[in-house]
Amino acid sequence: MLWAAASLFIVGLGSYLGRDFLMYRTYETAFGEVNRFRLADSSVVFLNANSTLKVPRWGFGKATRHVYLQGEAEFSIRHTIDHQYFKVHNADNSLITVLGTEFVVYTNPKQTNVVLNKGKVELSSNAGEKPLTMLPGDRATIGKSGEIKVEKLSEAQLAQHSAWKQHRFVFHDTPLREVAAKIHEVFGVVVKINDNKLAARTATGSFPAENAEELLSNMSYMYSFEIMKAENKIILIPNP
């Protein structure tokens, strides 16, 4: 009985994965990788590291322009003659609806951030509230409850949200523990900070880096710590 149940599970899983492969084309990036893709409707997508975008294989650009994002991406959406909406389904079940515009999305199951550079988008969440219309310069954050909060950004702040396209990391009063979490997300490298004062030390600045060690080396002198490798992780030690 157990063997039969396991066999049914494997067959069912294979059928599901096969269906997913047949239904969608998947664009993805590895840890530390940034890539540019042109979709069938001529829209352009930059995918940040460790991100996935699923696009329907059939009818995209004609019958549908729905895509599914996990991670971070910058979209430059082509406006069609028939004014067809482009819709981005996010990992937290929120939805972005656009005609033609440029925006950056960071999404995971717990939270989504949307930064609008050009044009206009409509943002809705699973909270069931009335969709919110974003204008250029807006940054919207959707929390766990589905509530949407919007703030206006300066030109410099807008540019920071696309810095990853040039392999740059921009921090503003960011605790090093959050820097460590970002490194793990982008590069897949575990960074340990056993000293609480060092973990709370805040970083501000723009740092070019294409791997975890380069980023931490660039920051180590300014924020007074040393780097030690141990197995598959990096340990930060405060300078005496």
CATH code of residue 181: 3.55.50.30
User: How many angstroms separate the CA atoms of 125 and 150, rounded?
Assistant: 13
In a domain, 12, yes or no: no
Q: Which of 128, 159, 190 is the last residue of a domain?
A: 159
pLDDT of 156 = 85
Residues 30 and 88 in one domain: yes
Q: Which of 130, 159, 188 is the last residue of a domain?
A: 159
For the cut 80, the answer to whether the pLDDT of residue 198 exceeds it is: yes
Residues 155 and 176 in one domain: no
pTM of the model: 0.86
% residues pLDDT > 70 (the chain):
92
Residues 127 and 181 in one domain: no
Total number of domains constituting the chain: 2
CATH code, domain with 47: 2.60.120.1440
The residue segments making up the domain with residue 203 are 167-238
Residues 128 and 225 in one domain: no
pLDDT tens figures, 71-110: 999 999 998 888 899 999 999 999 999 988 999 999 998 8
pLDDT of 18 = 63
Residues 99 and 181 in one domain: no
Residues 90 and 72 in one domain: yes
Residues 33 and 152 in one domain: yes
Residues 176 and 209 in one domain: yes
Residues 58 and 113 in one domain: yes
Q: Is 43 exposed, middle or buried (0-12, 13-18, 19+ CB in 10 A)?
A: buried
Residues 145 and 28 in one domain: yes
Phi, psi (rounded to 5 degrees) for 108: -145, 175
Residues 42 and 153 in one domain: yes
